[in-house]
Amino acid sequence: MRRRTLAINCVLGVAVLAVAGIGYALVGHSTKAAAVTQTATVSQGTITATVSASGNAASATNVGVSFTNCSGNLTSVLVQPGQVVTAGQVLATVDTTTAQAAVTTAQTALNAANASLANSITQAKTALSNTQATASNDSQQAQNSYNAAVAKALVQDANNPTTLAADEATASLQQQAANLKDQQQITSAQSALTQAEASTSQQALAVTTAQTTLATAQTTLAGCSLTSPITATVVTVNGAVGAAPGSGSVASSSSTSSSSTGSGSGTGSTATGSTGTASTGTASSGTASSASGSSTAKVSSSTGFITLADMNNIVVPASVSESDIGAVKTGDTAAIVFAALTDAADPSGTTVAGTVSEVDLTSTVSSGVVNYGLTITLTTVPKALRLGQSATATITTASKTNVLRLSSSAITSRGTLKTVTVQEGTTTSVVPVQTGLTGNGVTEIVSGLTAGQTVVIPSTSASSTSTLLGGGGGGFGGAGLLGGGGR
C-alpha cells in the first residue's frame, strides 16, 4: 500500500515539475520580450503635413461647338478626334444652298428699299426745280408783256390820260396774276418736297429692316462654316459627310474617358457666335483615397457637334473626407503621380507638381460618408498624358523647418495631456510636453524636450504573462492555470 502511494506521488511530482518547466519557459520568454526597449531620439529638422487624394486627369476647359441657324447636310468634316486645332480653324461645313439664297433675297430687298428712299426725295426735288425754272420764265414773259402793253398804251393813249392810266393798270394786273400763279406752283412743289422728306422715316425704317434681314442671312451663311473658338484638342465628332450635324455615331478620341474613379462636378456656359454655339464647362471635385465610400460628383463634359478640350490646362478633380478638409486650402502645393506614365527614368510613374485651385464649401454625402470636393491644377502637363488617366495626389497642407521633432509613436496622450518617457542611462522619467504640427509620422515638440534626448517608445507587445501561472503569489498557488495550491 505504501509502495503504491509512493508511486502515485512520484507521478504527480513529475507532472508538477513538467508544468513548472513550461511555466518557467513562458515567464522567461515574456521577460525577455519585455526587456527589448525601442527608443527614439529628439532631432531638429522639417515636418510636413500632407493629405492624400486620388482622381483622374480632366481638361479644365471643355468646349462643345455646334452649327447654329445654318441647316443642311455636312459637306465636309475637316478634323478628327485627337487632332490639335487652333482658334479660328475651320472644323466642318454644311450645304450653303438655302443660306446663300436667303442672302441674295435679302440683298435684293435692301437695294429696292434704298432705291425707294432715294427716288421719292429725288423726284420731289426735281419737280420743285422744274417749277422754279418755269416760274422764272413766266415771270420774264409777264414782265415783257407788261412792258409791251405800257409802250402801246403810251402811243395810243398819249392824248387821253385816263385811258392811258387804265391800260397801264390792266397790264400790271396781268403781270401780277402771272407771277402769283407761278408762286403758287413753287409753293406746291416745295410742299411736295417737304412731304417726301417727312415720309422718309417709314422708308428709312424699311431700309433698316432690310439691312437687319441681310445681316442675319449673312451670319447664317457664315455659320455654315464651323470654326474653333480656342486652340484645343478634338475629343469627339458627332456626324459624317452627307448627314445632318449631330446625327449618326460619335467618333471619340482614345485619349478621353467617359467615366473616372475620381469624378467631379462642373459648371458651364453657352456662347453663341457667327461660327456656331460654343458650350464651355469647368471640371471640379472628385474622390480621394483618404475618403471612404464612392463619389457622387461627375466631371463636366460640354457636348456639341464637335467637342474640344484644352490639353494645356489639366486638372485633377478629387475629394477628401470631412476630417481632412479643414487642413486643405487653395494655394496648397501638391505632388501628383500618374502611375500609368512609366518609362526607364520613372518606372513607378510620372510625378508632376500642382496647386489646389478650388475647395468646395458644401459637401457631398454618399452612403453616409461626408466628402468635400477640391480641384488640383497641374503646373506642368506630361506629354503622354491622356484625359481620364488615374492620378494620386499628395497635398502639402503645412510645413515647418528647423523645429524639434519626435516620432509620434513615442508620445502618450491622455486627454489634453501629452507625455513622453525620457531615458537617461538606466533610469527613465515621465515628462509632459507641448506639441505642434504633426506629419509623416513625426510631431513637433514645442516645449519639454531638447535635441538629442532619448525617449522610450511605449511597447504594445510587452504584456505580463505571470497570470499564466496564477495570481501574484509565489510558487504555484493562487488562481492560476494550475488552480489552487492544496494537495
- Reported as a single tens digit per residue, the pLDDT across 47-92 is 999 999 999 999 998 899 998 878 889 999 999 999 999 999 999 9
Q: Which string of DSSP letters, residue by residue, matches 50-115? A: EEEEEEE-EES-EEEEE--S--S-EEEE---TT-EE-TT-EEEEE--HHHHHHHHHHHHHHHHHHH
Dist CA 139 CA 31 (whole Å) = 146
Give the C-alpha separation, 133 to 138, whole Å. 9
pLDDT of residue 13: 54
- pLDDT grade for 253, boundaries at 50, 70 and 90: low
Distant-in-sequence, close-in-space partners of 193: CB < 8 Å, separation ≥ 6: 121, 124, 125, 127, 128
Contact 113, 207 (CB under 8 A): yes
Q: At what angle do helices 200-222 and 97-156 cross, to 10 degrees?
A: 160
Rounded CA gap, 56 and 390, in Å?
A: 4
Please report, rounded to a whole number, the percentage of residues in the chain having pLDDT higher than 90.
45
Higher pLDDT, 473 or 152: 152
Q: Is residue 132 part of a domain?
A: yes
What cell numbers appear for 291 in the block? Answer: 475618403
Which pTM was predicted?
Answer: 0.58
Q: What contacts 85, CB < 8 A, 6 or more positions away? A: 79, 91, 228, 231, 232, 233, 234, 308
CB atoms within 10 A of CB 463: 10
What is the reported pLDDT for 198? 63
The average pLDDT across 248-260 equals 46
Strands 232-238 and 250-252: antiparallel
Three-state helix/strand/coil letters over 179-205: HHHHHHHHHHHHHHHHHHHHCHHHHHH
Q: Are residues 391 and 443 in the same domain?
A: no
- The pLDDT value recorded for residue 302 is 61
Confidence of residue 475 (pLDDT cuts 50, 70, 90): very low
Confirm whether 63 is domain-assigned. Answer: yes
Whether the predicted pLDDT of 306 surpasses 90: yes
Residue written as grid cell 505642434: 436
C-alpha cell at 421: 518617457
Least confident of 324-338, 424-438, 449-463: 449-463
409 grid coordinates: 509613436
At residue 281, the pLDDT reads 53
Residue 472 in domain: no
Of 22 and 392, the structure prediction assigns the larger pLDDT to: 392
Tally of structural domains, the chain: 3
* Residues 390 and 420 placed together within one structural domain of the fold: no
Residue in 280, 229, 272 with CA at minimum distance from that of residue 88: 229
> Which amino acid belongs to residue 84?
V
pLDDT score, position 112: 86
Q: Which residue has the cell 466631371?
A: 299
| Residue 182 domain-assigned (yes or no) | yes
- Asked if residue 380 is part of any domain, the answer here is yes
Q: How confident is the model at residue 134 (pLDDT cuts 50, 70, 90)?
A: confident
Does 333 fall in a domain?
Answer: yes
Question: Does 261 share its domain with 392?
Answer: yes
133 phi and psi, to 5 degrees?
Answer: -65, -40
First to last CA, the chain: 19
Q: What residue numbers bound the domain in which 449 lies?
A: 38-46+410-457
Whether 395 and 260 map to the same domain: the answer is yes
CB-based contacts of 459: which residues, under 8 Å, 6+ apart?
Answer: 34, 36, 37, 38
Domain shared by 342 and 420, yes or no: no
- In this structure, the answer to whether residues 342 and 452 fall within a common structural domain is no
What are the grid coordinates assigned to 116, written together? 425707294
Do 281 and 385 lie in one domain? The reply is: yes
pLDDT of 299 > 70? The answer is no
Name which residue leads in pLDDT, 256 or 354: 354
Q: CATH no. for residue 429?
A: 2.40.420.20
Same domain, 261 and 395: yes
Residue 151 belongs to a domain: yes
Q: Higher model confidence: residue 322 or residue 294?
A: 322
Final residue in a domain of this structure, among 357, 378, 399: 399
Residue with cell 534626448: 453
What is residue 326's predicted lDDT score, i.e. its pLDDT?
A: 94
Average pLDDT of span 378-407: 94
Give 24 or 101, the one with higher predicted confidence: 101
User: What pLDDT, on a 0 to 100 scale, did the predictor assign at position 480?
Assistant: 35
- The enclosing H or E element of 307 equals strand 306-309
Residue keyed to cell 401780277 = 176
3-class state of residue 89 by DSSP: coil
What is residue 461's predicted lDDT score, i.e. its pLDDT?
54
pLDDT at 389 over 50: yes
Q: What's residue 164's pLDDT? A: 65
CATH code at position 320: 2.40.30.170
Segment 174-181 mean pLDDT: 72
Contacts 24+ apart (CB under 8 A), 466-473: 466/27, 466/30, 468/23, 468/26, 468/27, 469/23, 469/26, 469/27
**192 and 321 both lie in a single domain:** no
pLDDT category, 258, cuts 50, 70, 90? very low
The residue among 427 and 270 whose pLDDT is bigger is 427
* pLDDT (average), residues 221-250: 85
Which cell numbers hold the place of 11?
507521478
Contact 56, 390 (CB under 8 A): yes
**In which band, very low, low, confident or very high, does the pLDDT at 25 lie, cut at 50, 70 and 90?**
very low
pLDDT value of residue 447? 96
Indicate if 321 and 429 belong to the same structural domain: no
Q: What is the mean pLDDT of residues 459-484?
A: 40
**Whether residue 181 is found in the same domain as residue 278:** no
On average, the pLDDT of the chain sits at 77
User: 390 and 321 in one domain?
Assistant: yes
In a domain, 14, yes or no: no
Write down the pLDDT at residue 471.
38
Output DSSP code: residue 81.
T
